[in-house]
Chain A
């Protein structure tokens, strides 16, 4: 839609007046916002400030893609939502919040997973895409779909105290497109190499900062004002309060738009990220269910329970296991007997299984059993008074 035919009501002029009195922005910039459309993928930590600011700023049409429902643990950072939204579809709850914030724009709800099947169809309907997702398969999917559909991808991601932001695939004055995510990181870390999904956590304000930067870059892309982060990667480390801006160059080996493109359509991103490769599944270990362990405890069956989570997790909730974090199990074998059954436990059962494999491989243990479902399983089936995290 051309922005030249855009008009504003008295209410809109008053609402956007602080934009209109910026000389470089003025009513032309506001018309461009109203004429534009943005697809925000993920309405979580990054998506919350992104959506709030885009709606407040007056972006004419905003699409929200999210398949998830609001969980109470989201409220620490996902400021779009309130306690009344817990259990409700995020996309639906977000659209209600945005409609109450700005009735002059239209909000489109896509209460669905963003997949290789629907990605291009969804992206095609919007001018700009903002990636607020939280996992590698979807990150690569968003990037590839944007490159294939010639859309700008305004990007940010976070990990604990650290954040990154950039603008990918922006149309440059010479008619070419700026670098994209594949130029920076051609392929994702396979499972088992850092950062892995088991080690999450994010300080609540951080997505607020990075998501706001994304919103700012979206407004710059649409209005054409200033220099965006195209060709640059912004880094923020909150612990030392260091910021850096690094150059991002196009990579001639980029499989999508390098010198010899090898990928012309979307692929299976779970497989690409090594998440569905069955041949690489690790060896099975002996298991015990939470109800069996409960029975052992009640009947006084001799055993030792060790907890291989981190001390900060132990501080949230524990079930009487001896704390030996995964990284230290091999140097703590003096505390792990071989003559009685040893039940190994973590949050959900994955880390405890790898602890068992390591101990079996290096120290010849044969008496180790994995607590299926970990402390989450115990909370679900045995003791619902415990906190989940």
Chain B
């Protein structure tokens, strides 16, 4: 099982859960499993062409998947995959 960390803004699609777990061998598989299990989350992660949105980053451990093999980055049991959204708050 790989663990996917869900950031606060996306938790409204996961019943408030901060963690999603699934058997997956690549980042794409894991994100697709998340999308299947949680209606409505997909369009916030991917654009119409299926590309990861420009205000979302995905990391495996402390490394950006863009520095690895993108969505094809292999993940092993116990790996932690993290979704990082842009957030802007500071005052309001």
Among A156, A186, A189, A239, the one with the most B-chain Cβ atoms within 10 Å of its Cβ is A189
A298 contacts chain B at the CB level, 8 A cutoff: no
Knowing A189-B53, A247-B64, say if A194 contacts B44 (CB, 8 Å).
Answer: yes
Q: How many residues does chain A have at the interface if contact means C-beta atoms less than 8 Å apart?
A: 48
Question: What mask results when residues 1 to 23 of chain B are scored 1 for a CB within 8 Å of chain A, else 0?
Answer: 00000011110100000100000
Question: What mask results when residues 321 to 351 of chain A are scored 1 for a CB within 8 Å of chain B, else 0?
Answer: 0000001000000000000000000000000
Whole-angstrom CA separation of A156 from B18 in the bound complex: 21
Whole-angstrom CA separation of A47 from B89 in the bound complex: 12
Task: Judge whether B82 and A244 touch: CB under 8 Å.
Answer: yes
Task: Judge whether B64 and A159 touch: CB under 8 Å.
Answer: no
B69 contacts chain A at the CB level, 8 A cutoff: no
Task: Judge whether A158 and B9 touch: CB under 8 Å.
Answer: no
**Residues of chain B within 8 A of A156, CB atoms compared:** 90
Knowing A195-B85, A199-B9, A327-B12, say if A158 contacts B57 (CB, 8 Å).
Answer: no
What is the interface of chain B mostly: helix, strand, loop, or mixed? Answer: mixed
- Would you list which residues of chain B between 54 and 92 have a CB under 8 Å from chain A? 54-55, 57, 59, 62-64, 66-67, 82, 84-92
Task: Judge whether B91 and A78 touch: CB under 8 Å.
Answer: yes
Task: Judge whether B9 and A159 touch: CB under 8 Å.
Answer: yes
Task: Judge whether B54 and A161 touch: CB under 8 Å.
Answer: no
Knowing A132-B91, A156-B90, A157-B90, say if A188 contacts B55 (CB, 8 Å).
Answer: yes
A185 contacts chain B at the CB level, 8 A cutoff: yes
CB distance from B8 to the nearest CB of A (A): 4
Contact of A189 among B57, B86, B91 (CB under 8 A): B86
A134 contacts chain B at the CB level, 8 A cutoff: yes
Which single residue of chain A is at the shortest CB-CB distance from B62?
A: A246
**Residues of chain A within 8 A of B57, CB atoms compared:** 184-185
